[in-house]
Structure 1
Amino acid sequence: MGGKFAGLALSVAAAVFPACGSARDGNLDTGFGTAGKVFTKYPVGSFIDQFNVELAMQPDGKLLVASSRNFAAPDWDFGVLRLMPDGSVDTTFGVSGQSFVAFDRAGSDKGDHVVGMALQADGKIVLAGYADGDPTTGQDMAVTRLDTNGNIDSAFGTSGRTIVQFNLGNCATSGCDDEALRVNLQADGKILLVGQASSNPNATTYTSSLALVRLTTTGQRDSTFHIDGRVALQFGTGDAARGLRAKQLADGVHVLVVGGANTTPAGTNVDFALARLNDNGTLDATFGVGGKTTYGFDIGGDLGDIATDFIELPDGRLMVCGEVKANNPTNYDFGCMRFLANGVPDPAFTPVLVPFDIGGGFQDAPLRLERDSMGRFVLIGIAETATSNFDFAAARLMPNGALDTTFGRGGIMTYNSLPGTGVERTNGASGLVLQPDGKIVIAGFADTDGTSNDEFEVVRVIGDTIFSDGFDG
């Protein structure tokens, strides 16, 4: 996960919650867990994969929280647990509320890491990430599916599992690593995997491509999508690209993928990268230039900007947000740009920069983006509060991109790892769900004891005080 994208912080952090005389949008919802927070672990002796926690909500309000379980380094398995709407563990799911899936491929170190999760309309759970292989193949995209009770769905892939290899380089001599970093479902149930396919991953000649895969509903590569279900993209003459989100657009015939890419060989100037594909996996030539577009904020430092998520607006425009380099060495901010439906930056929109800049190296990074029922944008991720110490970070933007000053402190808020007592340590958010009642659920990891034996932290915050207080609706 290093190379030219080492600056992309898939990490998390600790937060400050001020004393308030009355509730305010962004405040913790005291009806959830203990004072708005839940801390929970996998079985004794194991801990979660710090930077990769995903969140989904079932129609009944139960929460699925996914991250890999560590047994003994380097052995990891895909894992997911289920919480009740009040934050307590649902012991009817899997075994005591938890379910685990091992790939454990021959010749591997058994390092299986879940990064993305999607919930099917029938309640089945799709988990995606990467699984280590033997030395000639490196790690590959890995996908599994669970039924509604947390059991492996044997009708999916091979015995409930699917491996997708790109192997773009000379893997036997230089190594290859392929990773699925997010998963989304199309309206027809087909599965979109997005991530990165790289060669020479541990060398100075490292190269990578944005990797996109479409699977059928049964977990097979979709032969109607770019012949074999796989697409690898680079931008300009660049040699490094990574995808962080792919979704089918509202028209049902196009897929948009966003991430980061350089446009010149070995270039450190990384830009937001967008590409739109037709339903058959070919680039849509009516979007950007030949189906692709890049956008650089180019504010400072090494000019490294990486898009981590996007929302398609009702009129087809695209709100794209990610990590924007403000200054060297580690000063990153939340940043957003709006694009017209054809991939051109929207001239009516002023680029948005949201600095938390609380402490340490000022490393702030948004990892998830959602749009609420009022058209506002909710961003969550990390904010550095001291050197190597992070907090959950959240920001809410108005539809025009301005910070919503009714939320938190002038539009931003952080949440720490304190379960009520003890010493605050690093935590960080990467999962986000907006409840139908407007409440905001954020999930990530927390190091509560200083041993790096990280556990889940889930917080629920008030989205609209007026509804929370019962004055309306």
Structure 2
Amino acid sequence: MKHFYFLIIASLISLGLYAQNPGDYDPDFGTSGVVLTAIGTDFCMANSMAIQRDGKILLGGQARFGTYKFTLARYNTDGTLDADFGYEGIVNTTIANSDFGVSVAVQDDGSIILAGRVFDGSDYYATVVRYTSIGELDPTFGVNGIIQLENLSNIEQAVILDDGKIVVGGYASDNFALARLNSDGTIDISFGDNGYTITPLLDESGLDASSFIQDIDIQADGKIVAAGFIYSSITFYDMAIARYTSDGQLDAGFALNGYLTLDLGGLADFGTALNIQDDGKIVIGGHKEFAILTGIPEYDAAIVRLDSDGNFDDTFGTEGIAFYRLTEQATYIEDIDIQNDGKIIFTGQMVDYSNGIYDIYACRINSDGTSDVLFGNDGFVRMDPFNSDDNSSTILVQEDGNILIGGYSTSPAGVYNFLVIRLLGDAPVELPAVDVTFDNIETTSLDATLAPNDLCDTFYFVIMTPADMQQWLPMFGTEAALIKAFGIQADETLTHHFTELTPNTEYFVYTVSIGYDGFEAPYDSTFVQTLAGGGTGVATATIDLTEITATSVRMIVTPNSETAA
């Protein structure tokens, strides 16, 4: 009996040790959920992260080789370095005396953008570099893959638009600043003032102030939202949010004259991260100074949620604002992301100055701002993988719900390294959905078979080009509303014959699926391209002669679908 009792206890302990809960390290990633990568001589820092369509992970930042270089690392889905990228998974690029990569993004064709700033010995310049999917400088972009934006001093975020253009946000002459590039790296002069928008902001007293963009995001209608902070000698530091039209003008329909500044009640308030929800609400992350401990500022994490017009969302926190104190001295927010279920997850650094402890955390909150007690320890996870100084810069939720955190950490040898951590998210929840397949694709027509899954009660579908979607979106506000307004409703598998399409054109079949309980899943889209005019077959035409007289004849020519013109 003693042996039997021991085995039961051992089994229970084993189950406890290996139980997997949201917020636990993912044992299938790296070493027990953690990857540390040494690059350069003694220092490297990851500032941004992107996930490719194939699930591979990109970290962008800088590494020191005497001077700092733009640095990229690409990892396979299990956390190993991707040997097919650069040199053994790593790319370093020298541009000027010191180069700092800040924001990484992936284009639809797999090309990779790394944006940031470079120092030439006297001034800083905003810089954008494009690499091929295997990590080589792209000679079709800028000059040998590089473009410097002399009107901007720094880039904090780069975003790829649906048309391939690139919007970057940062600052110039201590003002909010944006620029837009064409897909080849040239300045898009149709944006702002010859490609640039530089916005001097005023403080609460109406006086000129310094302002700095820290993050940008793009709304479904193409408008650009920027978040950061503003400084003046009177108001000190306040959070700042601005919205621009798609062509780079301040949007007068947002807040007051296109921007607002927020005094959160602290001595200094900073906006550092931004994300736009599927419903158009704007989530801003940052931190609020609540005290000074022997000359050292103490901060609470702060999340603000606004309606799409710039007013506070009173369904979140207290009148649109929520604070989180995860440690007694300082909790900083560096980045935020939003899960498919509307929960908000953010990361940054927890600091106990008195003990010299600098750790990473991830915190998850419900859509109303309350802590998600199902995640980690009462809603957050504190991480110190090497019992050293750590900092997280970026967080992303994978399609499977697992959570990636990127940043840097000091190794046991005291060297700063790229750091990636993967935490377990919630078990994937199946949603109502429609599977779309295509057949009989011609120049101007095609068949689409739409098959709802078992959770789908009814669905809507419509075929459109991305340009059509962007044209009509402002009228309806959301993609889902547009799809339901223009689309066909069905509740069972069917094959629909689409006609009057344009040859050699990229289309998407957009769908909205609704479950039996009324839950509406996020809209989905499936790509298809019509055949080019002329096709691959034989071009023929049928000729009918009618109304024949002695001096005239009426001829009707009907080309087949393989005829280009």
TM range (shorter): 0.7 to 0.9
In the alignment, which of 233, 238, 247 is matched to residue 271 of structure 1? Answer: 238
CA 450–195 in structure 1, closer or farther in 2 if over 3 Å, else same: farther
Partner of 1:173: none
Residue 93 in structure 1 maps to residue 99 in structure 2: no
- The alpha carbon displacement at 1:196 in A equals 2.1
Which amino acid is the alignment partner of residue 68 of structure 2?
A: W
Structure 1 residues 122 and 393, CA, compared in 2 at 3 Å: closer, same or farther? same
RMSD of equivalent CA atoms: 1.9
Q: Which has the higher helix share?
A: 2
Q: Is the 8 A contact 2:303 2:323 kept in 1?
A: yes
Deviation of 1:466 after TM superposition, in Å, equals 7.5
The one-letter amino acid paired with 2:135 is G
- Asked if 1:306 corresponds to 2:270, the answer is yes
Kept after mapping to 2: 8 A contact 1:323/1:332 = yes
CA distance in 2, matches of 1:405, 1:96: 41
Q: How far does residue 99 in structure 1 lie from its aligned partner after superposition? A: 0.9
Aligned partners of 2:61 and 2:100 also within 8 Å: yes
Among 50, 55, 63, the alignment partner of 2:57 is 63
- 2-side partners of 1:466 and 1:348: how far apart? 26
- Match among 237, 250, 258 for residue 227 of structure 2: 258
CA-CA distance at 1:286 after TM superposition: 1.1
2:249 — aligned with what?
282
Residue 418 of structure 2 corresponds to: 456
Deviation string, structure 1 residues 161-204 (Cα, Å, up to 9, x no partner)? 1111237xxxxxxxxxx111111112222111111223xxxxxx
Matched position secondary structure for 2:44: coil
| 3-state secondary structure, aligned to 2:270 | strand
Distance 1:250 1:139 in 2: 33
Q: Deviations over 1:338-395 (max 9, x none)?
A: 112111222343211111115xxx2211111111111101101111145443111111
Does residue 432 (structure 1) correspond to residue 432 (structure 2)? The answer is no
Distance 2:78 2:413 in 1: 27
Unaligned runs of 5+ in 1: 1-18, 105-109, 168-177, 199-207, 419-423, 468-472
The one-letter code of the counterpart of 1:332 is Y
Correspondence for 1:9: none
CA drift of 1:464 comes to: 1.0
| SS of 2:114 mapped into structure 1 | strand
- Judge conservation of contact 1:238–1:266 (CA < 8 Å) in 2: no
Q: Distance in 2 between matches of 1:99 and 1:246?
A: 26
Q: 1:159 aligns with which of 132, 144, 149?
A: 144
242-251 or 380-389, which deviates more: 380-389
For 1:165 and 1:325, the matched residues in 2 are separated by: 34
Quote the Cα distance in structure 2 between the aligned partners of 1:382 and 1:148: 32
- How far apart, CA to CA, are the structure 1 residues paired with 2:419 and 2:283? 28
**Where does residue 128 of structure 1 map in the other structure?**
115
2:414 is the counterpart of 1:414: no
Q: How does 1:172-251 map to 2 (within 5 A)?
A: 178-198=153-173, 208-236=174-202, 237-251=207-221
Structure 1 residue 65, shift from structure 2 partner? 1.3
Q: 1:408: Cα distance to partner? A: 0.8
SS of corresponding position for 1:112: strand
CA contact (8 A) 1:234 1:261 kept: no
SS at match of 2:21: coil
TM-score (norm 1): 0.82
| 1:98 positional shift | 0.8
Structure with the higher strand share, 1 or 2 = 2
Greater RCO, CA 8 A, separation 6+: 1
Q: Give the one of 94, 97, 106 matched to 1:119.
A: 106
Q: Which moved more, 1:144-153 or 1:238-247?
A: 238-247
Q: Residue 20 of structure 1: CA displacement? A: 5.5
Q: Conserved in 1, the CA contact under 8 Å of 2:400 and 2:428?
A: no
1:371 and 2:334 aligned: no
